[in-house]
Amino acid sequence: MSHLRPFRAGHDELIHDLSYDFYGKRLVTCSSDQHIKVFDKVEKLSGAAAATSRMGGGDPNTRHLSTATVTTANNNSNNNNNAANGEAGEAGNNAAPAAAGATNTATTDDTVENLTTDDGAVWVLSDSWKAHDSTIVKVVFASPEFGQVIASCSYDSTVRIFEEDPQEAPNSGKRWKRRATISDFHGALYDIAFAPPHLGLKLATIDSDGMFHVHAAPDPNNLTQWESLVPEESLITKQASKNRQSSFALSWCPSMFFKEYIAVSAQDSAYIYERSGLGKYKRVAQFPSSNGLIRDIAWAPSMGRQFQLIALASVDGNIRIYKVTRKTPGNNINSSSSDLATTTESVAIDANGSASGTPSVTTTTTTTTGLEFPSPLEVELISTLSDHHSEVWRVSWNITGTILASAGNDGNIRFWKASYSNEFRCMAVVSAEQRR
């Protein structure tokens, strides 16, 4: 039987992000207290230790938890203004997929809600250390083939790379060594993501100026050296005022059989970039405009599909799922970009992140706005999900790309799956009130 139980991470401030490693055996959290904490999963406890853990006793950092898909809900806050002041701008801005199974949510009272089974497993604090000089908004594990590596980004405008040193004792504050600090950014950082391992050790980031960056480690065995692969290009033409919210997100294409693509969102716009033969990234598609800020973007694993799926979460309460396919030579490939382009008018965003007016979105729109050549991709809206009836903060696919999890301001986590008719329907709802 599954239950929701609080897992106290021990942070002094709000938790902004949490992420699993590839195997779901480790959990990392970050917070406004500028600290990163790593937890190891202990499969079984016997006797009194297991009973103490189930009752919430013992070490506050060891709570009964089982892992798989992470989806976290956020609170409304003025991100842009807080980022400028180096303060916490988001209350638990996090979602990270690992595999289909359990669900966790970060809350504003320094706890993680977990849907889990009674297997006796607990999470034990492995190490905790001060990692940045301001709020840490995102932390992610690299693929295990590169070792135990963590990357974090912060409002202090830096990305820091940490590697585990197993020679150091647990809980010494020295077990995770800082190998590199990447600081060639223009403002506070909002998102960070490692590329799929078949692309090498690459790291994508986006900052508050809408600058999209990709850094790569030429030698994965030397984490001190990182080189930039993307020329500076802002994804936004007009900076938001300090009293308005900002939102940026990115997601790599995980497929080995699709080209090297990455989806990036900035404010109410989203784009797809492709790495060219010269090693540079170029914009090859744009999504239809959203009715307000895009909070999150998630590219689904394809698992043998002939097309790709991308989910966008928006403040207008909708989750939009797009189908991305390559164009065939006879499918408008010789058409001009103006024939394929959709409207490029920006949507006015108010202080709550909502847009004034409702832009029309067709279900078969190929977006190539701003391109000087026909797009090689066709982007088609196939589903709009609005069951949250409130701002949607995070979306995350399971490892097979068949189930989508979403978290919204309604306090619910919803799971979506495509039916036999290829329509996405809500298959389960987990409420924050379902505590044991």
Q: Is the pLDDT of residue 64 over 60?
A: no
Residue 415 falls within a domain, yes or no? yes
- Tell me the CA distances in angstroms from 351 to 41, 158, 191, 316, 317, one per residue in order: 41, 27, 21, 13, 16
Residue 354 falls within a domain, yes or no? no
Residue listed under structure tokens 């895009």:
294
Do 230 and 258 lie in one domain? The reply is no
Q: What is the pLDDT of residue 337?
A: 37
Residue closest to 36 by CA, chosen among 57, 56, 72, 9: 9
Query: 418-425 long-range contacts, Cβ below 8 Å, gap at least 24?
Result: 422/382, 423/383, 424/321, 424/383, 424/385
Summarize the confidence of residues 325-332 as an average pLDDT: 67
Residue 75 falls within a domain, yes or no? no
Mean pLDDT, the chain, rounded, equals 75
User: Which residues constitute the domain of residue 263?
Assistant: 242-328+368-435
72-97: burial string, b at 16+ Cβ within 10 Å, e else = bbbeebbbbbbbeebebbbbbbbbbb
Do 277 and 209 lie in one domain? The reply is no
Q: Is the pLDDT of residue 37 over 60?
A: yes
Which stretches of 118-266 are assigned E, i.e. beta strand?
122-130, 136-141, 149-154, 159-164, 176-182, 189-194, 202-207, 212-216, 227-228, 248-252, 261-266
Q: Which residues pair with 153 in a beta bridge?
A: 138, 159
pLDDT in tens, 382-392: 999 988 988 99
In what helix (H) or strand (E) does residue 84 lie, and over which residues does it extend?
helix 79-85
Do 246 and 373 lie in one domain? The reply is yes
Model confidence band, residue 19 (pLDDT cutoffs 50, 70, 90): very high
Summarize the confidence of residues 320-343 as an average pLDDT: 58
pLDDT in tens, 182-234: 998 888 899 999 999 999 999 999 988 888 889 999 999 999 999 988 766 66
Do 230 and 308 lie in one domain? The reply is no
Q: Is the pLDDT of residue 338 over 50?
A: no
Do 200 and 302 lie in one domain? The reply is no
Do 220 and 294 lie in one domain? The reply is no
Q: Which residues pair with 311 in a beta bridge?
A: 298, 321
The top-scoring range by mean pLDDT among 41-45, 235-239, 296-300 is 296-300
Is the Cβ–Cβ distance between 173 and 187 less than 8 Å? no
- 91 secondary structure, DSSP code: S
Do 129 and 209 lie in one domain? The reply is yes
Q: What is the pLDDT of residue 238?
A: 55
Do 230 and 295 lie in one domain? The reply is no
Residue 358 falls within a domain, yes or no? no
| Least confident span in 136-140, 322-326, 333-337 | 333-337
The first and second tokens of residue 160, run together, are 């820091």
Residue listed under structure tokens 């135990």:
148
Helix and strand element counts for the chain (H, E): 3, 29
Q: Which is higher by pLDDT, 360 or 179?
A: 179
Summarize the confidence of residues 281-294 as an average pLDDT: 85
In what helix (H) or strand (E) does residue 71 lie, and over which residues does it extend?
strand 69-71
Q: What is the pLDDT of residue 16?
A: 92
Do 211 and 288 lie in one domain? The reply is no
- 106 secondary structure, DSSP code: E
Do 250 and 217 lie in one domain? The reply is no
pTM of structure: 0.74
The tally of domains found in the chain comes to 2
Q: Is the pLDDT of residue 348 over 80?
A: no
| Least confident span in 30-34, 346-350, 398-402 | 346-350
Q: Which amino acid is it at 236?
A: I
Q: What is the pLDDT of residue 305?
A: 84
Q: Is the pLDDT of residue 103 over 60?
A: no
Per DSSP, the residues of 326-365 read EPPTTSSTTS-HHHH----PPPPB-TTSBBSS-----TT-
- CA atoms of 387 and 407, how far apart (whole Å): 11
Q: Which is higher by pLDDT, 61 or 319?
A: 319
Residue 410 falls within a domain, yes or no? yes
Q: Which is higher by pLDDT, 173 or 372?
A: 173
Domain boundary among 234, 257, 277: 234
Model confidence band, residue 373 (pLDDT cutoffs 50, 70, 90): low
Model confidence band, residue 250 (pLDDT cutoffs 50, 70, 90): very high
Model confidence band, residue 123 (pLDDT cutoffs 50, 70, 90): confident
pLDDT in tens, 423-432: 899 999 988 7
Q: What is the pLDDT of residue 339?
A: 36
Do 298 and 218 lie in one domain? The reply is no
The first and second tokens of residue 288, run together, are 């239809």
Residue 268 falls within a domain, yes or no? yes
Residue 49 falls within a domain, yes or no? no
Q: Which is higher by pLDDT, 51 or 321?
A: 321
Q: Which residues pair with 351 in a beta bridge?
A: none
- CATH number where 24 lies: 2.130.10.10
Domain boundary among 218, 234, 250: 234
Q: Which amino acid is it at 102?
A: A
Model confidence band, residue 78 (pLDDT cutoffs 50, 70, 90): very low
Summarize the confidence of residues 94-100 as an average pLDDT: 37
Domain boundary among 207, 234, 261: 234
Q: Is the pLDDT of residue 154 over 90?
A: yes
Q: What is the pLDDT of residue 52?
A: 41
The first and second tokens of residue 20, run together, are 């699993």
Do 135 and 274 lie in one domain? The reply is no
Summarize the confidence of residues 346-370 as an average pLDDT: 43
Residue 99 falls within a domain, yes or no? no
Is the Cβ–Cβ distance between 412 and 429 less than 8 Å? yes
